[in-house]
Structure 1
Amino acid sequence: MAYAQTLSPDAAAQLLAWYAEMGVDIALDDEPRDRFAEAPPAPAAARLVQDLPEPRAREVAPAPVPSMLALPHEQLLGDARSAAASASTLEELRALLESYEGIGLRRTATRLVFADGNPAARVMMVGEAPGREEDREGVPFVGPAGQLLDRMLAAIGLDRSGVYIANVVPWRPPGNRTPTVQEMELCLPFIRRQIELASPDILVMLGGSAAAALTGTKDGILKARGRWTEYGAGARTIPAVATLHPAYLLRTPLQKRLAWRDFRALKARLDGGGSGG
């Protein structure tokens, strides 16, 4: 220690002997140090912080790619028309819809509900939108309304091998709500292209929403049903008729008699006997 330099040789020797007896038998430095005069050691927490490595420069994440859904509706509609027109087969159209980002409903639905039945059938039926059961299975008209539709088809000698079934909107709206006007508009180019590619002999529109979307009619379904018209599908026109949606018939069974008239007329057309009355 520094004060040992002021001791006499005999006193210094006695001090060293005492250090040895106390177990101090090694020098830490070549020169003596007055540790009392030095700065006190930093607290343990401060020493831990000092021992941490220098922080790296913060990495800046790349800017997110803007979603298509942020585009104006008219631009989305133009993109939907271009996309639908690019499909040359039903398989291409289905694959396109599986990955299409321009319609928000695909993000809330479980899966795409594209079609069921026979694409080469003479009759194509188009409803409004899938429900819960359809969303779960990815097949249109499989719930109670679909089971009634199967019985209605069987009554005129048809089953799903003899019809092709789709919806204007191929994704289930959240909570089975009615599709908005904008959602119907964005889906319309795809169902129109689907009808063109299937090219049926007869088009049946199930319910007022499908009839309004495909023909532009302002009439309610009770007035529009049973009235045959011509639907423009590309280079050809297709005889088309609207009828009551099976879900509506489940709620109002008395109206089944009107639907039966429409299905008899459909059968007559298939048999080559005109409207069927």
Structure 2
Amino acid sequence: MESALDYHTARALLDWQIELGVTETISDAPINRYELEQKAPKPNAVETAAVPVIPKEVDPVVVAQQVAKAANSLSDLRDAMGHFDHCDLKRGARNLVFSDGQAGARVMIIGEAPGRDEDRQGKPFVGRAGQLLDRMLDAIDLNRESNVYITNVLPWRPPQNRDPLPIEISMMVPFLRRHVELAQPDVLILMGNISCQAVLAKRGITRLRGNWGDAWGIPALPMFHPAYLLRQPQMKRQAWADLLEIKARLGALA
């Protein structure tokens, strides 16, 4: 009877076979390789998993139009905007800046976008520009406590107070339009270039200011933004003329 190989002899034989290029061994029974090729390989768990359905690209403007149209109250609209996840500005903002003042007031002011103070407090026009706006309104017997309603084109602050991108404006316009429809003001005041771009599809505030336009069936007057007046105080004379225009229009509509 042959004796079993000891460890060292078996290891030496194995190393010799590996050196010769052996990559696999055979079993006691022969294997028909042709039969193996004819059989379909057994799928693994990954292959048998359901193939995910890739959704078509979502148009945020269309989504905004549908969501805004479904809002039947200002409260509904605020909730809809809070759940709108297609605007990247939302991810970097502290608060949703929806509105301030009295809903249903005859005058509705549309600003551009929240700044640092507005982002912190969740209200539009609360910084230095807001303080100047309050003084301007007070000069023609208007104030946000009783007869003015205020909102912005964008409810979230752009990083570093940069200008909003065209796509950001476009996706928020349906919400803004619905906001105006629900608030039902007699006149709109459009503060700055971004507001004119969103509402009137026009830019060039120095040319537009002081000239009444129509915004969704409502008289709209473009004006310099209070932040611009803080940088260019010599333009306050034109702003005062615009305020008198608003006062006259309200008197004519009374």
TM category, shorter? 0.7 to 0.9
- Listed as ranges, the matches of 1:25-104 within 5 Å are 71-72=57-58, 75-104=59-88
Structure 1 position 179, deviation (Å): 0.7
Say which structure, 1 or 2, has more relative contact order (CA 8 Å, 6+ apart): 2
Alpha-carbon distance between aligned partners in 1 of 2:116 and 2:60, rounded to the nearest angstrom: 27
Query: How do residues 173-252 of structure 1 correspond to structure 2 at under 5 angstroms?
Result: 173-218=158-203, 220-232=204-216, 237-252=217-232
Question: Distance in 1 between the 2:249 and 2:155 partners?
Answer: 28
Q: TM-score, normalised by structure 2?
A: 0.76
Identity of aligned residues (%): 49
Instruction: Point out 4+ residue stretches in structure 1 off by more than 4 angstroms.
Output: none
CA distance in 1, matches of 2:100, 2:169: 20
| Residues 110 and 273 of structure 1, relative CA distance in 2, 3 Å threshold | closer
Q: Give the aligned partner of residue 32 of structure 2.
A: none
User: Are residue 115 (structure 1) and residue 99 (structure 2) matched?
Assistant: yes
Aligned partners of 1:130, 1:71: CA distance in 2, in Å?
29
Please tell me the residue identity of whatever aligns with 2:72.
S
Report Cα offsets for 1:69-102 as digits up to 9, x if no partner.
Answer: x945xx1111111111110111100011112212
Computing the radius of gyration from Cα coordinates, the structure with the larger value is 1
Q: Give, in whole Å, the separation in 1 of the partners of 2:57 and 2:116.
A: 29
Q: Whole-Å Cα distance in 1 between the matches of residues 195 and 253 of structure 2?
A: 26
Q: Per-residue CA shift, 1:167-197, capped at 9, x if unaligned? A: 0011001111111011011111101110111
How many residues are matched?
A: 209
Structure 1 unaligned spans of 5+: 1-63
Q: Distance in 2 between matches of 1:216 and 1:242?
A: 12
* Residues 272/171 of structure 1: CA separation in 2 closer, same or farther (3 Å cut): same
- Code of the aligned partner of 1:186: M
